[in-house]
């Protein structure tokens, strides 16, 4: 049933239609595998067509210009110092140096990220809006006022520290 020097890799390879003595169970199994492969290909083609149709319906072109300030998502950054728990979700602001096609932007990176590739996809970028008074007139930035310690409290704290040292 097998050719000399050839070992089948899949069960489908063992089934040859020109052989007369094929087991009916094997031929049914081959038909089942063929149906599964056909269904898989059809499902992938349908999903591709659906995604293409959805994208073509409302494509969004990025509105970035050279010289704009942007923030870069740090989701996949592994080289930021410190614990991951404390790293921000965006790094920056960075200034755009060049636009590549419609979906990639080259930025001027800081020293912290100098070993990163300076070209990023548009999907992980967002515009940086500074807290300029002219841009945001209603935003109140009141500085935090820390009340000075009384001298008596200061003396108590130094005394307690001295007691602990001895």
Query: What HEC string does the chain produce?
Result: CCCCCCCCCCHHHHCCCCCCCCCHHHHHHHHHHHHHHHHHHHHHHHHHHHHHHHHHHCCCCCCCCCCCEEEEECCCCCCCCCCHHHCCCEEEEEEEEEEECCCEEEEECCHHHCCCCCEEEHHHEEECCCCCCCCCCCCCCCCCCCCCCCHHHHHHHHHHHHHHHC
| pLDDT number for residue 38 | 94
For 91-150, write each residue's pLDDT tens digit: 878 899 998 877 889 998 888 777 888 898 888 898 888 776 776 666 666 665 655 555
How sure is the predictor about 48, in pLDDT bands with cuts at 50, 70 and 90? Answer: very high
* pTM (2 d.p.): 0.47
Q: Where are the domains of the chain?
A: 11-57, 69-127
């Amino acid at each position: 049933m097998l050719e000399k020097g050839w070992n089948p890799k899949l069960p489908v390879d063992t089934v040859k239609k020109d052989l007369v003595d094929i087991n009916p169970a094997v031929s049914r199994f081959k038909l089942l595998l063929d149906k599964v492969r056909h269904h898989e290909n059809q499902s992938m083609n349908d999903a591709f067509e659906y995604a293409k149709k959805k994208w073509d319906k409302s494509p969004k072109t990025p509105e970035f210009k050279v010289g704009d300030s942007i923030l870069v998502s740090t989701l996949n950054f592994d080289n930021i110092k410190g614990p991951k728990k404390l790293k921000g979700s965006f790094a920056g602001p960075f200034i755009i140096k060049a636009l590549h096609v419609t979906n990639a932007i080259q930025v001027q990176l800081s020293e912290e990220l100098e070993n990163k590739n300076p070209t990023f996809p548009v999907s992980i970028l967002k515009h940086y809006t500074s807290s300029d008074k002219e841009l945001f007139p209603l935003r109140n930035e009141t500085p935090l006022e820390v009340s000075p310690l009384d001298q008596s409290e200061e003396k108590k704290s130094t005394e307690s520290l001295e007691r602990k040292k001895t």
